[in-house]
Chain A
């Protein structure tokens, strides 16, 4: 999961302090693993360096926690690109996908598109596996089947999420 892209996405709805960013991240995505402050600041400085964010203002008192960040145009493009790129089908993909969907919803992008794109990617992998399975021996078949079942599970999750997008939108934007 790309924390950078996630934080960037969160910034899209408006400039925030580093502390706010951490809180928003934890609230929406960090259910079991809250972000460390250090992680936030190191990520933000990396994004600053690439010109994806800029410092919107510094409050009196100095210190890194007083900086307010805003997303740049380059940053918005980066987020959009990230969201549109399907993830490589692999195990434990859900958290990234979930983040992407929520971010898309938060930034008024088409979350269903993300899911469709992802499904297409998954199917591409499944086609390859299916094809290999058809040509291969029993061992190949069993190995491919294992992968196929995992991919299928992902796809089921995709379908389910697609069917619940409206509810999810309500939940994350409230």
Chain B
């Protein structure tokens, strides 16, 4: 089975084991530019591992991941890191904002990792904070802002480099529903307007409802609901 034509990021027959636990057992995935795909499934089903493999954070044991025509599964760590810096964006549930940097510095961080000068990076970062309606937080540190605000800062950070794929792992997991929805709205809107694809790992239906389609992971196997029906 090969990746569907026209997909930006596609995975075929992924296998990944952590010790004796099989986290992925032949999972498939594909996403098109500008598409929002929810990855659903019970906890421990391998959703996060799938996201980590797709994002090139961990290499799979076997199988192939193609991003924009390049094979990720066998790419060196340095090149995968470079790809993550420049083409991907990330939003996690927690533990992602550097506590000692201010919000604007946090958002500017990916740009600076790519070598942008500080001033310019922070200007761009501020624009994104404005777009996510949290520009008043620019000088605050993550410890001084609420969970929803922090998550918006994180979303701004994931978008700041103009990534083509955004990986969001339970981005609203730590938020109440109102804040969670707002974050999802901002995330999907920003992504759509930038024609960025979003891989959204969640177990919440209301969050998944912001996606265009969903795939379900169970026992390390994936099921693309669109193609089944």
**Which residues of A line the B interface, CB within 8 A?**
112, 116-117, 119-120, 122-123, 126-127, 129-130, 134, 148, 151-152, 155-156, 159, 162-163
Contacts and interface: CB of A to CB of B under 8 A. Distances in A.
B42 A159 contact: yes
B25 interface: no
If over half of B's interface residues share one DSSP class (helix, strand or loop), that class is named, otherwise mixed; here it is mixed
Contacts of B210: 127, 130
Contacts of A117: 225, 228-229
Contact of B209 (A112, A129, A156, A159): A129
A123 B229 contact: no
B208 interface: yes
Interface string B210-229: 11101010100001011011
A127 B225 CA distance: 14
Contacts of B208: 123, 126
A133 B185 CA distance: 11
21 contacts: A116-B225, A117-B228, A119-B40, A119-B205, A119-B216, A120-B214, A120-B225, A120-B226, A120-B228, A120-B229, A122-B205, A123-B38, A129-B209, A130-B206, A130-B210, A148-B206, A151-B205, A152-B205, A155-B205, A162-B42, A163-B42
A140 B85 CA distance: 40
If over half of A's interface residues share one DSSP class (helix, strand or loop), that class is named, otherwise mixed; here it is helix
Given A112-B218, A120-B214, A127-B211, A152 B225 contact: no
Contacts of A148: 206, 209
A126 B225 CA distance: 15
Contacts of A130: 206, 209-210
Contacts of B38: 123
Contacts of B40: 119
B216 A116 contact: yes
A129 B209 CA distance: 9
A159 B225 CA distance: 15
A126 B229 contact: no
A123 B42 contact: no
A130 B228 CA distance: 23
A156 to B, nearest CB: 8
Contacts of A122: 205
A127 B42 contact: no
Going nearest first, the 4 A-B pairs with the smallest beta carbon separation are A126-B209, A120-B225, A155-B205, A130-B209
Contacts of A112: 218
A116 B221 CA distance: 13
B200 to A, nearest CB: 12
Contacts of A152: 205-206
